[in-house]
Amino acid sequence: MKISELSRRTGVPVASIKYFLRQGLLPAGRATSATISEYGDEHAQRLRLIKALTTLGGLSIAATRDVLGAVDQADTSEGALGAVSYALPVPVAAQGGAGPEEDDGATPAAAAEVAELLTALDWQAPGTSPHVQGLTTALRELRRLDAQYGPGELAAYARLAEGVARLDLERAAVLEDPVALAERAVIVFAICAPVFELLRRLAQEDQVRRRLTGDGAGGAAPRS
């Protein structure tokens, strides 16, 4: 198909397609003349993934290039899942308080908290994982705010997070083709994250309302 048809089919403007071509996000088409190229279904699929990453996932062009490169190098579905997971930006941990250069004891305490958690849950993640590092930073800043988690609190959250991750994987891993699966994983990992956060906020709202009206049925007491 010509670039105009590619634009029509994907809803991405021609100028944007040309920009993605120049930025190396989209492979060049097959040149049929000096000014005309032919594009295939693989271009349309790649464009939908670029659109999902940049528009819905909110990724920069550089971050999008990283994700696409990781997906291209993955030769299995699990590899593609892992690549997307590592390439997506780590959620912004709490920032501020004392600078990281100040050794106030919060850094080793937070690192120990993360290590203990991983051991207790038997979660496999190396110290180089961006998620381990992000969690360590977040817990360090909470300690500096004197708002650290109490004994068992972090593990209680982690057990619920494990349940959410299990649902995520079930939603993402239904496809065999690594590229199609990567597109799905981007949607589930990056775009559905706010959905869970909204559900959490809705549940908070419900529980605050019940406290206000004195209706404890769904408040502090577990209902499930």
Among all chains, which residue has been given the structure tokens 């959410």?
164
Contact pattern for a copy of itself over residues 84 through 123, marking x by CB under 8 A: -xx---xxxxxxxx--------------------x--xxx
Task: Give the C-alpha separation, 136 to 74, whole Å.
Answer: 28
Stretch that binds a copy of itself, among 21-29, 32-40, 63-71, 72-80 (CB under 8 A): 72-80
Q: Are residues 188 and 171 in contact, defined by beta-carbon separation less than 8 angstroms?
A: yes
Which residue, 30 or 166, has its beta carbon nearer to a copy of itself?
166
In the region spanning residues 149 to 208, those forming contacts with a copy of itself, defined by CB under 8 A, are 149, 153-154, 156-171, 173, 184, 187-189, 191-208
CB of 36 to a copy of itself, least distance (A): 29
CB of 38 to a copy of itself, least distance (A): 26
Which residue, 39 or 189, has its beta carbon nearer to a copy of itself?
189
Q: Are residues 80 and 181 in contact, defined by beta-carbon separation less than 8 angstroms?
A: yes
CB of 98 to a copy of itself, least distance (A): 8
Q: Are residues 99 and 137 in contact, defined by beta-carbon separation less than 8 angstroms?
A: no
Torsion of CA 13, 19, 23, 28, to 10 degrees: 70
Q: Which residues contact 215 (CB under 8 A, 6 or more apart)?
A: 209
Three-state DSSP at 51 gives: helix
In the region spanning residues 124 to 153, those forming contacts with a copy of itself, defined by CB under 8 A, are 124-125, 129, 131-132, 134-135, 138-139, 141-142, 145, 147, 149, 153
Which residue, 2 or 90, has its beta carbon nearer to a copy of itself?
90
In the region spanning residues 17 to 56, those forming contacts with a copy of itself, defined by CB under 8 A, are 51-52, 55-56
Task: Give the C-alpha separation, 77 to 85, whole Å.
Answer: 12
